[in-house]
Amino acid sequence: MVNIHELILETRPDSTYQGDFTIMKLRIVVASLVALAIVGTSSSAFATTTKKHHKKHHQMTETATQKDVAPTDYKDYKDAVPVCTITQTSMIMDETTQNIGRSLPNPCNPRWYDRIQVSGGLNIDVGKFGNRNANLQGENYQRLSLNDAYVNISALVNDWAKAFASISYSDPTINNNPGVFKNFGAAEYSAAYSNNINGTQTNNVELEQAYATLGNLDTSPFYLQIGKQFQDYGRYEIHPITESLTQVMTQTLATSLKLGFIANGFHGSIFGFDDPINKNSSSTKPTNYGASLGYDQINDQLGYDLGASYLYNMIAANDVAYNVVNFNTLGGTLSDTGSYHSRVGAYALYADVNSGPFTIGGRYTQALQRFNPNDMPKNGVADLTGDIITGALLADASGAKPWAAGLQAGYGFDAWGKDQHLYVGYQTSREAAGMDLPKNRYLVGYAISVFGKNTSLGIEWDHDNAYSTDNGGSGNNTNLVSLRSSVAFG
């Protein structure tokens, strides 16, 4: 145990500030910081290497010994524990920039890089061919776009605390992209990534995720997560070539508080966060909540997972909120657009099975109540009278009770010395024209690694059958072919 009274700021014996009260206060502050630094160095310095697989996460840790610490970083004082010196000028500089109390680069924490991991990548959509004006939510119509340029940073603070942050730039189709769709009512790739629920944002760099995890799963099955993250509602891939119909209805990115557990393959959580839009005639955003429960059996030869989740108000799903706001603006149904009338509960189910090179997965989500027709009518814009910009809601219009489902199978193989993946899928929805979704979708995709590990090229074909005009769709059958080049590091 480090004795706090033995830790002092190094000063010259002939210093004229030996008795100065300000310096004494500075010594106490420095002593406290040094004590924390030494404890963190002696007990928390360890390296972590993470290998990422489909449905597999392996961690290996190794403990750094005291000899790993550079001896020049420490200074003996009498016979006490080696002490690191933080200069007065450094402390004063931190005060002048209002940074006292913040986590700053610390010379008393050698081997900080053993507790920080950095990874990232680029997903570049290099071509879009076919029907680029189908106006379907979840599809990217840009000829060339950085669908996702991201850097992930994780920090192993100690055995009971971890932190994660993801900085992302994404510029696929959004509502106000010049030359694509810039009117309200237009679909876009994702309101989550562009923070574009109100249709007023532009593509930019954003802190997509940032959360802390408190807990030690080696000693207790429970953990607490606080921060901005994708909620444990449904299952999907972040920044896919095209978002699935179920992803549009479930993807929820919000700042939240989550309490969860993981034990012997079983896992579950409860979480709470604020809705992205206000309720009608309210100046605040209501608090939403959800819960999830699942089981994972991870095995290369025969593995599977299954789970269910519940959301008190599905208007919290980013793309759902986006379309509710769009409809309110189109139909003029609210005096203060950008809010909603009634909450709608929802649930989501998922299941996956893998055996050797084969995988198959299913997704399903459904609203538990009907939407208020002023928020989302059953037949979307077909339930408006006259021009869609100024038309009012039909007197006999009812609210939508949408659902969506999807099934996808894949086969992974090695040929010509390269990893390859082939997949096919089918998706369908009902009463979802108000979300700018198709009624049915067929898809085929293929990806191959190039130039070694962590580089790949992929192609996907989506064939969409829209709702009829009477049910709020275009009535068209459209095709979209997308090419993607991906690079990852870390």
Whether residue 426 has pLDDT greater than 60: yes
Whether residue 290 has pLDDT greater than 90: yes
Give pLDDT, residue 81.
54
At 296, the pLDDT band (50, 70, 90 cuts) reads very high
Residues 456-488: pLDDT tens digits?
A: 999 999 999 999 999 989 999 999 999 999 999
Give backbone dihedrals phi and psi of 329, rounded to 5 degrees, phi first. -70, -40
Domains in the chain (CATH in brackets) are: 4-96 (no CATH), 117-489 (2.40.160.10)
- Give just the sign of the alpha carbon dihedral 177, 181, 183, 187: negative
Cβ neighbours for 286, distance < 8 A, ≥ 6 positions apart: 274, 275, 278, 279, 313, 343
Give backbone dihedrals phi and psi of 264, rounded to 5 degrees, phi first. 55, 40
Residues 130-153: pLDDT tens digits?
A: 999 899 999 999 999 999 999 999
Residues 26-57: pLDDT tens digits?
A: 444 434 443 433 334 333 333 333 333 344 33
**Strands 145-158, 116-130: pairing kind:** antiparallel
At 247, the pLDDT band (50, 70, 90 cuts) reads very high
Between 364 and 33, the more confident residue is 364
Cβ neighbours for 481, distance < 8 A, ≥ 6 positions apart: 127, 128, 129, 130, 459, 460, 461, 462
At 18, the pLDDT band (50, 70, 90 cuts) reads very low
At 336, the pLDDT band (50, 70, 90 cuts) reads low
Instruction: Single out the residue of 74, 164, 184 nearest to residue 119, CA to CA.
Output: 164
Whether residue 309 has pLDDT greater than 90: yes
| Lowest mean pLDDT, pick from 23-32, 189-198, 230-239, 469-478 | 23-32
Give pLDDT, residue 23.
38
Give pLDDT, residue 110.
55
- Count Cα atoms within 13 angstroms, Cβ side, for 374: 14
At 330, the pLDDT band (50, 70, 90 cuts) reads low
What is the percentage of the chain residues whose pLDDT exceeds 70?
A: 76
Assess contact for 131 and 479: CB atoms under 8 A.
yes
CA 313, distance to chain mean position in Å, is: 19
At 325, the pLDDT band (50, 70, 90 cuts) reads confident
Whether residue 108 has pLDDT greater than 90: no
CB atoms within 10 A of CB 177: 20
Give pLDDT, residue 109.
65
Give pLDDT, residue 90.
79
Write down the mean pLDDT value for the chain.
Answer: 80
